[in-house]
């Protein structure tokens, strides 16, 4: 009887290792880098590294979530984004159709937004517009959203594309950010400067 504990533990480790090996074996070499990106200025493309500049101090900003799975055909997905407190979640809608999408999850973890869906029969591949999210920006400072893609993320969740028999990880993701030029909050500074020229 004393040997059953270690044997059982070894068995669980073996099963876990087998699952991990299976997941890895399902990842074709050419698809290791699946892009996942946030578009904060509506052009459908990843934003500049210094983010998007807004003209209002307090603003509702929208971000589109895009993926490019290349030739990998998926039937389910989950995508997690992180946002700071100063960028409060307002609402979200799915753009992708043809499957069953879960409610946008803004309740499981603070400062995390989860998107997910399954049953995309026939599968999807290539570039897909997943969703559009809105956040309320309450500070002029640069604030942004980023993606959780690391399986060992401290939040215990991460983004994947899946099939009934396995899943793919994103090894690259591009978030976005918004900043508001503080001088546009009021016209006092330029007005004083102009007045100074004539006084
Ligand atoms: Ca963009």
3-state secondary structure 41-98: CCCCCCCCCCCEECCCCCEEEEEEEEEECCCCCECEEEEEEECCCCEEEEEEEECCCC
Q: How many domains does the chain have?
A: 2
Cα 51 to middle of ligand 1, angstroms: 9
Q: What is the pLDDT of residues 112-150, one digit of tens each?
A: 999 999 999 889 999 999 999 999 988 888 999 999 999
Which is higher by pLDDT, 23 or 50?
A: 50
Cα 45 to middle of ligand 1, angstroms: 4
Report the C-alpha gap between 83 and 121 in whole angstroms. Answer: 31
Cα 60 to middle of ligand 1, angstroms: 16
Report the C-alpha gap between 35 and 172 in whole angstroms. Answer: 6
Cα 127 to middle of ligand 1, angstroms: 14
Q: What is the CATH number of the domain that holds 64?
A: 2.60.40.680
Quick one: 115 and 97 in the same domain? yes
Band of the pLDDT at 195, cuts 50, 70, 90? Answer: very low
Cα 17 to middle of ligand 1, angstroms: 40
Mean pLDDT of the chain: 80
Cα 195 to middle of ligand 1, angstroms: 38
Determine phi and psi for 86, rounding to 5 degrees: -75, 0
Hey, is 178 helix, strand or coil?
Answer: strand
Quick one: 107 and 194 in the same domain? yes
Cα 1 to middle of ligand 1, angstroms: 62
Q: What is the pLDDT of residues 23-36, one digit of tens each?
A: 444 444 344 556 99
Cα 49 to middle of ligand 1, angstroms: 10
Question: Could you list the residue range(s) of the whole structural domain that residue 189 is in?
Answer: 32-198
Determine phi and psi for 189, rounding to 5 degrees: -65, -50
Question: What whole-number percentage of the chain has pLDDT above 70?
Answer: 73
Report the C-alpha gap between 170 and 151 in whole angstroms. Answer: 10
Query: What local confidence, expressed as pLDDT, does residue 152 receive?
Result: 92
Closest-CA residue to 151 (of 129, 131, 168): 168
Asked if residue 186 has pLDDT above 60, the reply is no
Q: What is the pLDDT of residues 53-108, one digit of tens each?
A: 887 766 889 999 999 998 899 999 999 999 999 899 999 999 999 999 999 999 99
Quick one: 17 and 49 in the same domain? no
Cα 146 to middle of ligand 1, angstroms: 14
């Amino acid at each position: 009887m004393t040997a059953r504990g270690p044997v059982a533990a070894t068995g669980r480790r073996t099963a876990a290792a087998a699952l991990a090996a299976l997941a890895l074996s399902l990842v074709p070499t050419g698809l290791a880098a699946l892009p996942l990106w946030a578009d904060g200025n509506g052009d459908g493309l990843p934003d500049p590294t210094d983010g998007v500049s807004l003209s209002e101090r307090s603003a509702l900003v929208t971000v589109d979530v895009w993926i490019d799975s290349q030739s990998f055909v998926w039937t389910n997905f989950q995508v997690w984004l992180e946002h700071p407190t100063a960028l409060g979640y307002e609402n979200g809608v799915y753009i992708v159709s043809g499957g069953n999408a879960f409610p946008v999850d803004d309740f499981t973890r603070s400062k995390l937004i989860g998107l997910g869906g399954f049953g995309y029969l026939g599968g999807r591949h290539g570039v897909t517009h997943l969703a559009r999210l809105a956040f309320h920006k309450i500070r002029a400072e640069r604030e942004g959203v980023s993606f959780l893609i690391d399986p060992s993320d401290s939040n215990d969740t991460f983004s994947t594309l899946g099939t009934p028999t396995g899943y793919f990880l994103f090894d690259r993701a591009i978030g976005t950010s918004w900043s508001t030029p503080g001088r546009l909050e009021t016209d006092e500074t330029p007005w004083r400067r102009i007045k100074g020229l004539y006084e």
